[in-house]
Amino acid sequence: MRILVVEDDANLNRQLVEALQEAGYVVDKAFDGEEGHFLGDTEPYDAVILDIGLPEMDGITVLEKWRAASRVMPVLILTARDRWSDKVAGIDAGADDYVTKPFHVEEVLARIRALIRRAAGHASSEIVCGPVRLDTKSSKATVDGLTLKLTSHEYRLLSYLMHHMGEVVSRTELVEHLYDQDFDRDSNTIEVFVGRLRKKLGVDMIETVRGLGYRMQAPAK
């Protein structure tokens, strides 16, 4: 899963990026509204953390421009505690949720998990596909109750496929959502990770749809 953090406070930006990376997300960052708007308008993100008070272009304007351009990724806005009007303006502009400053990073992580789940149509923090269970809160996966030992890339791949289970996901989409903007992207590496993941799962659940990509679904009974 790929997240964009748009926050002009360098220290807070760093804290959010580090916490998200530790939680298993791929993270891009921006420090002003213009840069944030450009990234959100040209790159595919699973969620965005957007500060309201940004230089160059304020967060409300950034959000309005995204929504006007039909950018539908979930957006969590950061607002000052005493500015209730910012919360209202943010929600009206198309924000999906908000957190007031100061905040605990754990709350931001929980809200981001919830936004991504809801965007994919999942209500619980645990996503189940046949014998595979993915706990988005602990970033752990099990097969028939046994914990899978996954690398960060393997976990991201499994997480994305399970969030979109039943759907055909192209290699290009996987590359765009599993690597940050500076990564030397090579769609051939996806095949390698899919192969490794299939072996670790031990069950036939990741189907190759020739010419289109991959689809994860529970094995037939």
Cis status, amide bond into 102, omega within 30 of 0: yes
Beta-bridged to residue 92, according to DSSP, are: none
Q: What letter represents residue 86's amino acid?
A: D
**pLDDT greater at residue 218 or residue 66:** 66
**Residues 6 or more apart whose Cβ sits within 8 Å of residue 83:** 52
Which value, in Å, is the radius of gyration of the alpha carbons in the chain? Answer: 18
* Overall number of domains in the chain: 2
150 domain residue, yes or no: yes
The CATH number of the domain holding residue 135 is 1.10.10.10
Tell me: the pLDDT tens digits for 19-53?
A: 999 999 999 999 999 999 999 999 999 999 999 99
| pLDDT value, residue 46 | 95
Alpha helices by DSSP H, listed for the chain, are 10-22, 33-42, 59-68, 84-93, 105-119, 152-163, 171-178, 188-201
| pLDDT value, residue 190 | 86
| pLDDT value, residue 188 | 73
Q: Show which of 76, 94, 119 is a domain's final residue.
A: 119
184 domain residue, yes or no: yes
The CATH number of the domain holding residue 85 is 3.40.50.2300
Quick one: pLDDT band at residue 186, thresholds 50, 70, 90? low
| pLDDT value, residue 83 | 75
Tell me: the pLDDT tens digits for 65-87?
A: 999 999 999 999 999 867 788 88
| pLDDT value, residue 120 | 83
Given the structure tokens 């959000």, which residue do they identify? Answer: 63
Q: Show which of 67, 93, 119 is a domain's final residue.
A: 119
221 domain residue, yes or no: no
27 domain residue, yes or no: yes
pLDDT at 61 over 70: yes
Whether 111 and 19 map to the same domain: the answer is: yes
Mean pLDDT of the region 161-181? 89
Mean pLDDT of the region 164-176? 92
Tell me: the pLDDT tens digits for 119-129?
A: 888 878 899 99
pLDDT at 182 over 70: no
Mean pLDDT, the chain, whole residue set:
91
Whether 19 and 109 map to the same domain: the answer is: yes
| pLDDT value, residue 97 | 94
Given the structure tokens 């791949």, which residue do they identify? Answer: 157
| pLDDT value, residue 58 | 95
Q: Show which of 97, 119, 141 is a domain's final residue.
A: 119
Rounded Cα gap, residues 107 and 9, in angstroms: 19
- By the 8 A CB rule, do 1 and 177 touch? yes
Whether 104 and 130 map to the same domain: the answer is: no
Q: Which residue range(s) make up the domain with 36?
A: 2-119
| pLDDT value, residue 69 | 96
pTM for the whole structure: 0.84
